[in-house]
């Protein structure tokens, strides 16, 4: 098949870790179902693929393929190397293997039109440039963190001390000022390689054709307004979230005893406690949190991981004691206030509103659905040109009356499906997310 006649194809390179893979899988599903694209996941590793990775990827339709790159060797790194360093080097050392996969795709007649990486995958842009493929970023974290990424090179030039030692709060564009000690973990030690990698990637974000962020305007108006402000060299930002897996058949938790218990609880009565796929607490802090949750006498569902001794940041802002731990009494008081108090009532109402808004933005005429459609219509520029805010005709998609699966397409080229994925009534009223 001639290259110009082959359907458009997108390569997706997730950073190692399930927390990176899952939202990109959801992005891939939407590109396939709404825009008639085919996908290949190209996955860097430093060991054997996990059972969870294989399970998620094995559940995808035939239009979404996956390739695991040969494991890279990280044995030369110190034992205390941080996760940002490990991820970045895994991607960087996988570039020769990534080139081989691209060569194979192109030689087979596959028309690769875009490479999508996540927040630590920008070194793969070099391969995209070689094959004249448009580079994009999918940012799975909040828009506030993305705003920091774009601002970090300037902040790095302006500030000579550690950010935590700054006398004034850091003013991230579009966000409330925060103390330097509350910024992302890798920014806390500017001499560490983790910070150097973070700065390296943040500088390369401007090489992207565009940046998709897993958020929506109603959730982060200030940050997204700042990200949408045009400035020389900044690529367009598309809020396409929230992209979450709502299918229990592919989440690996169907039949879980925890979910059976959850379904038996009253609506809005359960507190969900999670630290993300890579977030853990010290043993002492886990003990205090467990006892505090028990003392609160509230229903809760907690995803527990093996403890370590990392510092924590707590989204709900309970006060830490002199030993740096959040005590059980403080945790119990905060939880009771959230679940029963007047202040908690306003938070719960806000979360319910955001849940409804999240369903709306993912609907057929929702803002996130339209933003993703805009990405697929954006004309790629040469990798050597400056980013532009001006869009040209469609190159990702080829609009027809029907797609390859026989589904009728609407006027924008999306299948006319009931794909709103309305979120079911929730027993979970709020979540505690303690960052790492």
Question: Catalytic residue numbers?
Answer: 20, 118
Distance CA 328, CA 266 (A): 25
Distance CA 392, CA 379 (A): 5
The backbone torsions φ and ψ at residue 322, rounded to the nearest 5 degrees and listed phi first, read -65, -25
For helices 328-340 and 342-361, the axis angle rounded to 10 degrees is 70
Distance CA 371, CA 91 (A): 28
10 Å CB burial of residue 255 (0-12, 13-18, 19+) is: exposed
Sequence-separated (6 or more) residues with CB below 8 Å from residue 226: 147, 173, 174, 175
The backbone torsions φ and ψ at residue 295, rounded to the nearest 5 degrees and listed phi first, read -65, -25
- By the 8 A CB rule, do 111 and 7 touch? yes
Angle 309-310-313 from CA coordinates, rounded to 5°: 135
The backbone torsions φ and ψ at residue 385, rounded to the nearest 5 degrees and listed phi first, read -100, 165
Distance CA 239, CA 210 (A): 11
Sheet of 38-43, strands arranged across: 64-68, 38-43, 8-13, 111-117, 134-139, 210-213, 237-239
- Specify the residue for token string 């995808």: 60
Pick from 88, 19, 102: which is nearest to 56 by CA?
A: 19
Peptide bond into 242 cis (omega under 30): yes
């Amino acid at each position: 098949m001639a290259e110009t006649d082959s359907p458009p194809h997108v390569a997706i390179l997730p950073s190692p870790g399930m927390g990176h893979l899952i939202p990109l899988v959801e992005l891939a599903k939407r590109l396939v179902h709404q825009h008639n694209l085919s996908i290949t996941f190209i996955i860097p590793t430093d060991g054997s693929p996990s059972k969870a990775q294989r399970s998620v990827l094995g559940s995808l339709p035939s239009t979404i393929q996956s390739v695991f790159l040969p494991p890279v060797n990280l044995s030369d790194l110190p034992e205390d190397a941080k996760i940002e360093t490990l991820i970045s080097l895994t991607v960087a050392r996988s570039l020769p293997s990534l080139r081989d996969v691209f060569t194979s795709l192109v030689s087979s007649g596959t028309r690769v039109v875009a490479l999508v990486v996540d927040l630590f995958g920008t070194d793969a842009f070099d391969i995209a440039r070689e094959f004249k493929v448009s580079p994009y970023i999918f940012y799975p974290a909040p828009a506030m963190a993305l705003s920091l990424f774009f601002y970090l090179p300037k902040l790095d030039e302006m500030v000579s001390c550690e950010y935590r030692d700054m006398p004034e709060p850091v003013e991230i564009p579009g966000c409330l000022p925060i103390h330097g000690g509350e910024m992302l973990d890798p920014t806390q030690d500017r001499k560490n390689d983790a910070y150097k990698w973070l700065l390296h990637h943040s500088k390369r974000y401007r090489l992207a054709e565009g940046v998709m962020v897993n958020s929506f305007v109603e959730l982060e108006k200030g940050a997204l307004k700042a990200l949408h402000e045009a400035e020389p060299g900044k690529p367009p930002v598309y809020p396409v979230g929230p992209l979450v897996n709502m299918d229990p058949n592919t989440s690996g938790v169907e039949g879980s005893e925890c979910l059976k218990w959850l379904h038996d609880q009253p609506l809005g009565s359960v507190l969900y406690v999670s630290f993300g796929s890579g977030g853990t607490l010290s043993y002492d802090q886990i003990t205090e949190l467990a006892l505090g949750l028990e003392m609160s006498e509230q229903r809760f569902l907690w995803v527990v991981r093996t403890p370590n001794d990392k510092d924590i940041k707590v989204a709900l802002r309970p006060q830490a004691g002199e030993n740096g731990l959040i005590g059980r009494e403080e945790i119990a008081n905060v939880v009771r206030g959230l679940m029963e108090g007047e202040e908690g009532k306003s938070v719960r109402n806000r979360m319910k509103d955001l849940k409804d808004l999240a369903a709306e933005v993912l609907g057929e005429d929702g803002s996130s659905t339209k933003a993703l459609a805009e990405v697929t219509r954006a004309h790629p520029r040469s990798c050597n040109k400056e980013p532009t805010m001006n869009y040209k005709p469609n190159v990702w998609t080829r609009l027809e009356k029907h797609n390859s699966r026989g589904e009728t397409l609407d006027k924008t080229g999306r299948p006319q499906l009931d794909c709103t994925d309305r979120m079911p009534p929730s027993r979970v009223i709020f979540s505690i997310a303690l960052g790492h």
